[in-house]
Structure 1
């Protein structure tokens, strides 16, 4: 780390990922292809118990981006749901009512708690939903979601503010709560090679029901289709309701995970 970066961190300010990492985001297509090639291994993941899972797309993405994950989880036995709100143009305050209504709809129809899987901004929404209705939420999994530390440290901040009509600093009290401990079990999956968000913005405070999982070399745009990330999502969702145990990094994708001691708050 350079002296300039150290100074920035000491002041509580983080920098967005550099240009090299941003340009390397094109490798996300390779991650999707890898998942297709490794599908026989992915299907060895623990089977689901049929509980509902709501998949929330990232900024500028739509349900199409979450289709591979929904298909995978459906094949493992989960009842998967799209968010059905078109393209995600951002806005924590603007989207809250619709997101809450969607969660309540799924919960009422299934009669079971709903697990939330959110990619990037979708993960921020997922954490907010769990704070609003912990009695409806079973588990929260975020993938490359910038909810902690200096959340301005992304390469999408200006575009987000322009399209959503919100500043990142808006809803400060809500964002502080989103960055804190959740009332339900949660896992944050991230990559230090993320070219869109500074990986430190994805770190939660580990506890007896909260953990970070680092996937080596994953891109931001490919994290939701990365085979190691998909395996981790399936493994976490398969835990019995109300129970939590740390992620076991053994298995067919063991080489892709950083040791747990590296996944610490920054």
Structure 2
């Protein structure tokens, strides 16, 4: 939270000053900025920052430089897109006779360019992570013994879920995820398109399948995509939010693919014979958009194939966007107990609005990095006491 406070203190100063450049009074500027942060997870903190009168003492250029400097210090982060969207919303407001639209436009353009430069600096997975991918063989082998013991929280029956496999994978890749979802009460559907080559020609067929499932159930369909399958799932969610209940990606690059540094992209370009950016410009542009449905991105920081930061969506944009870290390899995510639990629990929570409760759910938290990030012995006592 301290890092967020530093960034949002700097950005709030800038946003206020930009709003005032349009001829708004301080009071009106505060109201406008608060409104543009509506539904933001840090909305209360932002309101408290706006109440500090010292926020507006400097000019726009100085505040812009300071905010960019803070972003540079924190390094690449998808959440910067939230700040760009807020600036864009402010820039779209018409200026009064005493104000101007040019300051807001120039500020938005400069901030967007600088953030793009910062986000291009995400490095390829380190060699250590690449070598760790060999453990995926162990993860798949041991899953046959672990699977019967994974807790099963029963859900509302027959809710439809369409699953999409990873790059170079097929429906066999999602076997454990599909079987687990079936066992807790979901009705799952394969993608039935053979090996996933991340070819945009697969999209029309997937959309047809979505329509069929939607018509059969007469309700929205949840989409689950692993790695390259998550790319398709996100684009479909962007195109058809009226038919998509929610989106869950598993180790999927959901933004910044054009400049992503990874052996996967190079192999894809080798098989295609063309640069990815030359072949799929529209495809990549659509991937940058954020669907207007609940989103959950599952990722691992020890991913050896994809830079994990590309696998996280802008969690600060809305309260229904979540990023969940798990332990494991990229290639083993289809046979990862934490992934299975996260997918099932998230699907049900977003549909019913209720989270799993009880001692079993608390014990499950032991298998996630978020639990071990907590300090002190309280994290263990909280397993048994509220």
TM-score (normalised: structure 2): 0.59
Q: Which has the higher contact order (CA 8 A, sep 6+)?
A: 1
Unaligned runs of at least 5 residues, structure 1: 1-5
- Write out per-residue CA displacement over residues 58-112 of structure 1, whole angstroms, 9 at most, x where no aligned residue: 1000101111111111111111111000011122x22221111121122122222
- Mark the CA change 1:95 to 1:21 in structure 2 (over 3 Å): closer, same or farther: same
Rounded to whole Å, the distance in 2 between the matches of 1:250 and 1:167 is 45
1:160 matched to 2:268: yes
Aligned to 2:345: 235
Aligned to 1:3: none
Aligned to 1:28: 136
1:96 matched to 2:203: yes
1:196 matched to 2:305: yes
1:252 partner SS = helix
Aligned to 1:185: 294
Aligned to 2:24: none
After the TM superposition, list the runs of 4 or more consecutive aligned residues in structure 1 that deviate by more than 6 angstroms: none
Aligned to 1:65: 173
* Superposed counterparts of 1:1-266, under 5 Å: 10=118, 12-91=120-199, 93-149=200-256, 152-164=260-272, 167-169=275-277, 170-206=279-315, 207-216=318-327, 218-239=328-349, 241=351, 243=353, 251-259=362-370
The alignment's C-alpha RMSD in Å is: 2.8
Rounded to whole Å, the distance in 2 between the matches of 1:255 and 1:241 is 25
How many residues are treated as equivalent by the alignment? 253
- Write out per-residue CA displacement over residues 112-167 of structure 1, whole angstroms, 9 at most, x where no aligned residue: 21111100010011000011111111111100001223552222111112334663
1:59 partner SS = coil
Structure that is richer in helix per residue: 2
